Structure 1
Amino acid sequence: MAPKEIDEVPSSFPGLSKYPTDRDKPFRLAEDWIEGKRKDDNIGNLWRIHDKLYNLEPYIHRHPGGTDWLTISRGLDITEAFESAHMVNPEIVERVLKDFYVGEATSPRISPFTFKENGFFKTLKRKSSPILKKIGSGPTPGMILMEDSLVALCILFAALGAALDSWICCAISGCFLSCVEIGAHNFFHLRDTWRRYYFDIGLSSSYEWRITHFFSHHLFPNTVLDIELKLIPSYEFLPHFERSWFQRYCPIVYSHFLYCFAFWIDFVKRWYHVFKGEKSIRPENLIVFFELLLMMLIAPTRMGGFVAWLVVHTSASFVFLEVGQNGQHHHPNIFHDGDEARKDDDFGFGQIDATRDRAETVFQNLFLVLVTFGHHTLHHLYPTVCHSKLPQLEAVFIETLQEFEEKWIKFPHWELYLGCYKQLARTERFNVPELRKEISTTTFSLTK
């Protein structure tokens, strides 16, 4: 049963005035989120940016980032995606956009965020554009080498595990596979590249994650529009929902078992809807079956190859969720929809209020950044910039924070890890602006 909302307020933000269609539908697909948002945005087959409507159909195959971004977002208000994805030469992008203008929107946007010209995000964007023109936004050779090496190690240990009937080698392969997938997350944010399909070596889908992770989570983190808050059964992170004692206090025990099977649930759900004719097969969805075939051919017995395949993907699911679920967004000190939001609903403030970074300097290492979703606040502000380039944007980020008298708050890793379970247990609503003021009196790290 879905958690019951305590009151009728759908969101902390006045602009997010409609509760998302089908938000509480059990086992939602990525496509369900898109269809629900299309119904709510109600603009037909057009694309909305701020209060203007565009027909981008003729531009889909000319889009520099690739076709997926526009085909996925047909029928949506893409204001947040447009603003955050085009950090370089925004004036050129605006000129191109004028060729596809068809009219004005007739209803207000259903969104928690605004983009005022003198606001935090647009100021940061203007300051960042010259830097990104100089350094580029794509991956460095070192970043590519690290990701390719992880793939090679994953394949090597999977082959050894199957051939030697070694669960230890298979588990090691699974650990490397989780690193591959976390690293591939960096690549599927960027313009189309074949390395985004590294994500599909696991049980998940890079195409589906572009929907759930970019269009939903990245653009609307920790709000009722964030589908990632509902991907794990029985989890409800928002404080304005009633939850049972089991939902509040038992995840710290059972979640580690659930993490082993979370990607399997995703996998079974996908293929269940494919066989029912409700979902189309994409070529990259077949990669895992080629893996299974190869492991069964390498192994002494077919059953041994099948078991090895199971161990690899179960290990990968466990490690991926242990790293990804507990590190960046969930802590009682982090904003979740239902808390009292700041009065300035700037998109950039929405990102920094809903994210935290790890305070330990070891997590500044580029390899650890790649495999632990590092530099997370910067990643949310610059989602289409490779992680390898984010350190060069820190100075301008801090400068903009100082201009707006804001802080960059970082927590110790274990505080963030345990904070996820504290957040699941809390039901009281907090005042986020006051919490940000109080943070300076704690031992947590902050940069101002």
Structure 2
Amino acid sequence: WLEGKNADDEAEGLWRINDKLYDLSDFASRHPGGAFWIECTRGTDITEPFESHHIEERAREMLSKFESLAGLALCWVATSTHNFFHQRDSWRMYTFNLTMMNFRNWRVSHALSHHVYANSLHDLEMSMFEPFLCWIPDRHYASKTQRWISVDTIIDRGDIKWSDLLVLTHFGEHALHHLFPTLDHGVLKHLYPELKQTMKEFDVELREINHWGHIKGQNEQLLRIKKNTLPPASTRGANILGLFSSHSPSHLIIHMSVAKALAEAGHNVTVVSMLKPTITHKDITVIVVPMKKEQELVMENQMSKNSLFSTMNRILNDMDVMIKAQAELLSDPRFLRIYETKFDLMILGYFINDFQLGVAAKLKVPVIVDWMSAPVPIIEKFTEVFPAKDQPTLHELRKNISMVFVGCHLNSEGPIRALVPAIVEIGGIQVKDKPDPLPKDIDTFLNKSKQGAVFLSLGSNIKSSSNWLPQDDILAHPNTKIFITHAGKGGITEAQYHGVPMVALPIFGDQHGNAGVMEKSGYGVALDLLTITEDSLKEAVQKVLGNENCIVMTQDRSSWIGCSLGGLLVALLALQSMPQGSEGANILGVFTSHSPSHLIIHMSIMKTLAEKGHNVTVVSSMPPKSIKHIVVPLSAEDEKILNDGMSGMVKEKPSIWNTMKSIFSSLSLLIDKQVDVLEDSRFQELYLNKGNKFDVVFVALGARFNCPVIISWSGPPMMMVNEVLGNPELSSVPQMQIAVAAGQPMNFKQRVQNFASTLGFNALNMFLTHKYNGFYKRLWGNDKSMPTFEVAKRNVSLAFCNGHAISEGPIRPNVPGIVEIGGIQIKNKPDPLPEDIKEFLDKGRHGAILFSLGSNLKGEHIQPQVIETIFKGLSSVKQQVIWKWEDTKNTPGKSANILYKKWLPQDDILAHPKIKLFITHAGKGGVAEAQYHGVPMLALPVFADQPGNADKLAESGYGLQLPLASLDLDEFKAAIKEVIENPKFADKLKVFSQLYRDRPLTAQESVVYWTEYVIRHHGAAHMQSPLVHMGFVASHNLDIYVIAVLVLYILFLINKIVWKFVWRKLCGKSNKVAQKKKVKKQ
């Protein structure tokens, strides 16, 4: 067990406490508790034993009053020696051996295993049946490998806690024992008053059941097959309030499905609703505050018209009734008691009730919105319900919305559009993974139908003579051949999920739109309910049943939805069931960029796919460290031109403009030479040889290989990628060189800079598009089977982008085809370091510094005086320094604290606990690795995105930056000292690292899932944004604006002519009258 724990804890032969490593070798002999505890736990995480075995002085004083009497009494009872497992070596612990067991083994299994990993797979006492004699965990507790201290799961035995005899023989008072393992059991009972007072202050309870209840609970725990997802350090889960005041039963089904999913995950959910829900769960408390009778009648009238326009007209006319009903709910005594309960989160069912966001503000909790937005006129109602002066405005409350659950799945349902990360698609939330058994009468009725069955339901809002039906379960039955529906969103989703074609009879709301999309997609036909006849219904049913295309297309849609609506569970299952070895897909990666840092990202993707069993072929201009592939390198002359260009940029002030200038001049070779790779005979053999078949290509060569294309992009989404996938280019999103703190808007100066940058990138994009088009014609212009360059670009299924907007920013909407894989190159578990580097780092008493300016920039590119300044600065620090330097025979100088290496396993070094600072050129990959491992940085940016990355890390508080070209020695030394000694940088990075790691799928899992998604569906045309197929005029609605202006102009002219005519008539008549009067007067 200790050997396994040693391997899992990755403490590298040292002792880990609170995520830091300590060398306690010399301290072991001086440890007041004895050397055993130190020597036995070498190479493991001892955080919990350390904290629970070192009690405060006040406790020691209290212990001394009972020590002699308790010790003498307990020594003669074999079970009481359990007391001494937790203390320093004592002759009394040897009496445990009278029980025919060995005290040393029990020290390991009990003090170091059970107390730290209670009731998990790491708890040795679970496998030794000790819980039958001891205490039993709550059956909802997640038993996996998490290192959660046992007090989180304790249920004490109230029937024995006041009897010393029973406590000693049955191991009672266990909650207190796990809190204070070194205290004798005779003392623990006197701490109960303090324990109860403390638990009362933190609003928690001490759960107590009897001995047999524990045994029953143990068996329930062992039999449970569904993993619990309670968060660490939580016994009851979060307290969540669901405020679902919509009067629509179909809306409530979606909201309650969300609540049920959270309850099944172990959270405590309280739901307030105007309707009694049909979906329930034992951990959901439902408070029903029904509408008044007159309000019910108004709501029913609103649902009687058969068009979206008429529905909206009635809703707008009677909106005051709907709002008033939802507002009155908040003043109902049954609801007011809600404010007496402490909640962690509120979920608001959204339907013309924005003012209810005030409930979250009053409870001081974050809020998640579920369903749809609402019109603005409810601001007045907000001020009526929440009149307090200190209450935030409605506009401010909307900014407090943390997330929005939307009942859709764009990949399968469409329309494809860009979404920000806070909008989470939960389409199909009400669909069960496994249908429930049908009621016996319905099951019998369906099973005896030899020709299949037709299911008719007009939803939950339209009343009929039938009672409630388990719609999802009926649609899942294999005999259900057709679904006659009102085209509600929920019903259509369920039918599509189960592959059942439909006849739609839309009535109101969104149903007409849903029916139209369903019919155009080929999943069924739509009829008008108010004009339907027996013959027209018969004809529609026969048409759907007899149309194979309708059935096949619905089943195809089902497969799309099935791949995604199951959420992460389906994704994770897919990852575990991918084809292995030669049965995997054939994948071609074409990576012609000459940047080693770009190749690291691309090869990390290919390595991940290869490890999943796919056959990977890579063509590149540089050899990577792994994977057999075709290398088409640059010539020595071209290498020299690139090196000269890099040297020139180092001497200039770093900026994106200098980089763009170099791209158009000295570094244009980077673009031009990429086409040489594609003209190489070794590459052309890949598609000329008919025996070669690829299932997917990474880069835009899908047309040549007749397979879908995935783009691997080395940074966050940019204009070049956005254009190919129809991702919107927004002026509110900062370009890569604009440093804006996370979540903050740009100021005026930054917006001006961003506008100028956008124009610059537009020019660059036009230049590159012109070049690419020329290359494309040069390579395949004579091949009539090849489409044009513009058409070929539309074959791109998706793009892997090296970013993670939630942690790194900026937050921006992305289409589903943009998949973030930031940190793909970072290993989940660092590889062992080379022996010389490991030894060099381990002996650094004051920590170590890693200095690397990346893979593009070499030492020879930097001016000698700058190199000298860097050497003087690094040789003067007390930390060990690892310096990436290409020519290890000709180094900048010799110093005992500096180790020069030509190549470095950067990610593995940054993961070492001794690294205190990373001096970097601020390349995207290096910054991500340092942020992931929580290492503060000193940035020396040179070109491309590096100045922007450096600005962002400094702005975010992750480090400092200095100019490389004009580096000053004193500033350099001061910056190193500031970053290492000021804890604010490491603290900020710790928060960032938690955000960066917290994802539903790791970067590697995302790559595998989405690559195989594209392969499974033979491309991802259904995920393409309409913008891909729209020109500049159509995508920006310029033609509509022109027509609108023309219409307004024509109306203006008509209006002008009419008024002129009226004016002439009126004025002409008055003039004639005046002239007549004048003549008479004369």
TM range (shorter): 0.3 to 0.5
Compare CA radii of gyration and give the structure with the larger one.
2
TM-score, reference length from structure 2: 0.21
Q: Which has the higher strand share?
A: 2
Larger relative helix fraction: 1
Select the structure with the greater relative contact order (CA < 8 A; seq sep ≥ 6). 1
In the superposition, the TM-score normalised over structure 1's length comes to 0.48
